[in-house]
Amino acid sequence: SQQQAVPPVNNEYVLQVSADISDLHLLDSMVTASLSNGGAVIAPVQMTRPDAPSNTYLFEFLVEAGSYELTFNAADAAGHSQSQIVPAVTVAPWQVPTVAVSTQDGLTELGSGQDATLVFDFSEPVSGFAAEDIVLTAASGGDAGTLSGLAEQSPGRWTAVYRTPVGVDTGITLSVTGDSYVSAATQLAGSAGSLSLDVIGSPLTASVSLPEGDEVSRIGTIAVTFTFNRPVSGEVVPLPEEGVWSNLRKNPGMTEITYDFSPQTLAVGVHQVGVAAGYQDDYGNAGLAASLPVTVTNIAPVIGADFSLAEQGGQVVMDFDITDAESALASVRYTVLDLPGSPITVEKTLADGNLSRLSFDAAQLGGAQSFRVQIEVTDDAGAVVNRELLVDIALTAVTLSVPGSQLSGGQLLLTSADPGFTVSTVTPAGSRAGVSGYTLTLVARD
Kindly report the CATH number that applies to the domain delimited by 99-200. Answer: 2.60.40.10
Q: Write the DSSP assignment of 327-384 as a string of letters.
A: S-EEEEEEEEESSTT--EEEEEEGGGS-TTEEEEEGGGGTT-SEEEEEEEEEETT--E
The answer to whether 318 and 308 are in contact (CB under 8 A) is yes
For strands 12-21 and 46-48, give the pairing: unpaired
- Per-residue confidence at 366, pLDDT binned at 50, 70, 90? confident
The answer to whether 291 and 272 are in contact (CB under 8 A) is yes
Kindly report the CATH number that applies to the domain delimited by 206-297. Answer: 2.60.40.10
- Per-residue confidence at 4, pLDDT binned at 50, 70, 90? low
Q: Could you tell me which residues come within 8 angstroms of residue 96 by beta carbon, excluding any fewer than 6 positions away?
A: 183, 188, 189, 190, 191
CA dihedral 116→175→93→64, nearest 10 degrees, is 180
List pLDDT tens digits, range 382-405. Answer: 788 999 999 987 654 445 555 555
pLDDT of residue 327: 61
3-state secondary structure of 300: coil
250-277 mean pLDDT: 93
pLDDT of residue 6: 64
pLDDT of residue 332: 94
The answer to whether 366 and 339 are in contact (CB under 8 A) is yes
Q: What percent of the chain has pLDDT over 70?
A: 86
The answer to whether 83 and 72 are in contact (CB under 8 A) is yes
Kindly report the CATH number that applies to the domain delimited by 302-392. Answer: 2.60.40.10
Cis peptide before 211 (omega within 30 of 0): no
Where do you find CATH 2.60.40.10 in the chain? 99-200, 206-297, 302-392
- pLDDT higher than threshold 90 for residue 171: yes
State which fold the 2-91 domain adopts.
Immunoglobulin-like (2.60.40)
Give me the chain's average pLDDT, please: 85
295-300 mean pLDDT: 84
Q: Could you tell me which residues come within 8 angstroms of residue 376 by beta carbon, excluding any fewer than 6 positions away?
A: 332, 333, 335, 384, 385, 386
Judged by average pLDDT, the poorest of 168-177, 243-252, 436-445 is 436-445
Total-model pTM: 0.57
pLDDT of residue 424: 45
